[in-house]
Amino acid sequence: MPARTRTLTGVLAVATLVAAGCSPTTDTGGGGDEKTKTQTGSISYQAADNQGPARAVDGAAAGGTVTVMQNSDFEHLDPARNYVNVQQVTGGLLYRSLNGYKEDGSGKLLLVGDLATNPGKDVDNDCKVWEFTLRDGVRYEDGSPVTSKDVAYGIARSFAPNLNEGPHYIQQWLYPGGAYNAKYQGPYNGGRAAPDGIETPDDRTIRFTFPQPHCDLPYAAALPTTAPVPAARDTRANYDLRPFSSGPYKVKSYQRDVALELERNPNWDPRTDPLRNAYPDTVRITFGLEQAQIAERLVADAPADRAALSWTDVPPAVLPRTTAAGVAERVVKGPTQYTWVLSINTQRVTDLTVRRALNYAVDKDAALKALGGQAAGTPATTLMSPTTAGWQKYDVFHAPVTGDKAKVTELLGGRRPKLVLAHSNTELRTQQAEAIRKNLTDMGFDIVMKPIDNSSYYDEIGRKNNPYDLYMSGWGSDWPTGSTVIPPVYDGREIVAEGNNNVSYLDEPAVSAEIDRVRALPAAQQDAGWTALDEKIMKEYAPVVPCYYDAAYELHGSRVGNAFLSDAFGVISLNGIYVKK
């Protein structure tokens, strides 16, 4: 999934687990470096893991308000369009998917049923037909029951061309071989209420039938794509502002760019929910603060901010103050599953030599220092993160982390390309873009900087006809296989007018053909196939400059209990958070 530019940590995805049909992994990937570890995890069908209520947190009590301080509003909360980590953490309080992740901060994740009674039944043991049974007693905020038809309708909505910013795995699996919505474009304008391959024989059963095997469906079913939407409550594009709650909270008020306030859904039954404790009475997310301002307030820990936290990383100017007594224990940090790259718009920068020159030119050390140095991550040379199963380190260019001017000069051959560098308009992303501009100017490029409002950043660079040549983007695995990195980000067949995840707009038939070949391999051989394709893409096409593997460094107030870094989302989890008395 995409990484949120405003969090500086890892969107889009969702879990560092092992693909269905494989055993849990403890491979460190990065030689034991804690910044590049692979998390452990598994799918659990154990009744105790799948039953609600969620296990109580020691010392926790219900009540109070937790405040999340952010510098910019969300792009999307509609489950069909929700593909950024902080949006998914928030959305998970409002609606429930078929499956979800149990975690307690120990590094171990369990994929279990959320709306469903378990992670799904492989009906014929060939991964083509999957069946889920919904729990009894799951109700919307108005007390009406959640049905399998609502889940099917929610998936159907995600085929609509103007609601296409979310994950596309299930859609692509139902309609393989091209654009996922070429034949079916959702339930609007006379369209059917469900796509081909989805059946709801009764109100508690939903069945998926795929043309090819997809043993990863339990993981894809944990994405917001499978959250229920009752047709009568569908407000189409306006659903972003007021999703209808099937989770423990509902929207009380939402003033764009100011605050989103969530209050309890009185019809949520904790006995049906194995994932969420929902201790706070209210969750309030405020927008419009600078990152340094947020960090300063959390360091100071004034009474009004003691029950607050932020998904925004601590900026460099405030970092030294976070090691003091009383503050250090309130830091939540660690590696995430995201790789940040400088994406090159290959529609505009068509010269492969120029793209290779950029890979020799970028000062990765300067890009990291603008965000906090080692607290923000470690230099990258690959497309996939070391947390991905089967990851192997390679370096196509072998450039120093500060760049190789002699090689850039040789490749440019006297040319001085003029390129437009787009960036999010937050304070730190602007500083990072300025560092990149200065670096590339020194290396022989003419760079024009263009700010984009942070609340629409991914929407803007996701437009096929965007007017930018370069922009930072982050992507992490939705579950830790290359199948959740390479196809969604580098398969040209998935490029559409808007809502693209392939923001380098690489469209190479040879890459698409290799994606199909690797997908058809036995599961045990796919990891090596994705790793080889990772290197092939960089060696033959250089559509991006890998810059750094992400790390989180977040703060919370002294009255926030059970704050830990979610291994599924790369930010502080809200499922078990509570306000200390």
The predicted-structure confidence for 504-514, as pLDDT tens digits, reads as follows 999 999 999 99
Asked whether the bond before 53 is cis by omega within 30 degrees of 0, the reply is yes
Instruction: Kindly tell me if the per-residue pLDDT of 26 is higher than 60.
Output: no
What is the tens place of the pLDDT at every residue in 31-89? 233 333 334 469 999 999 999 999 999 999 999 999 999 999 999 999 999 999 999 99
Instruction: Kindly tell me if the per-residue pLDDT of 536 is higher than 80.
Output: yes
Three-class SS state of 164: coil
Lowest mean pLDDT among 173-182, 233-242, 531-540: 173-182
7 band by pLDDT with thresholds 50, 70 and 90:
very low
178 band by pLDDT with thresholds 50, 70 and 90:
confident
What is the tens place of the pLDDT at every residue in 136-156? 999 999 999 999 999 999 999
Instruction: Kindly tell me if the per-residue pLDDT of 8 is higher than 90.
Output: no
Say if strands 108-113 and 40-43 run parallel, antiparallel, or are unpaired. parallel
Residues ≥6 apart with Cβ < 8 Å to 162: 236, 237, 498
User: 26 and 40 in contact (C-beta within 8 Å)?
Assistant: yes
Q: What pLDDT is recorded for position 38?
A: 39
Q: What pLDDT is recorded for position 4?
A: 47
Q: Identify which of 66, 92, 560, 106 has the alpha carbon closest to the alpha carbon of residue 334.
A: 106
Taking residues 158-164, report their average pLDDT. 95
Q: What pLDDT is recorded for position 1?
A: 75
Taking residues 307-321, report their average pLDDT. 96
Q: What pLDDT is recorded for position 41?
A: 64
Taking residues 167-180, report their average pLDDT. 92
Pair of tokens at residue 306: 């003691």
pTM of the entire predicted model: 0.90
Q: Identify which of 574, 473, 570, 573 has the alpha carbon closest to the alpha carbon of residue 10.
A: 570
Domains and CATH numbers, the chain: 334-551 (3.10.105.10)
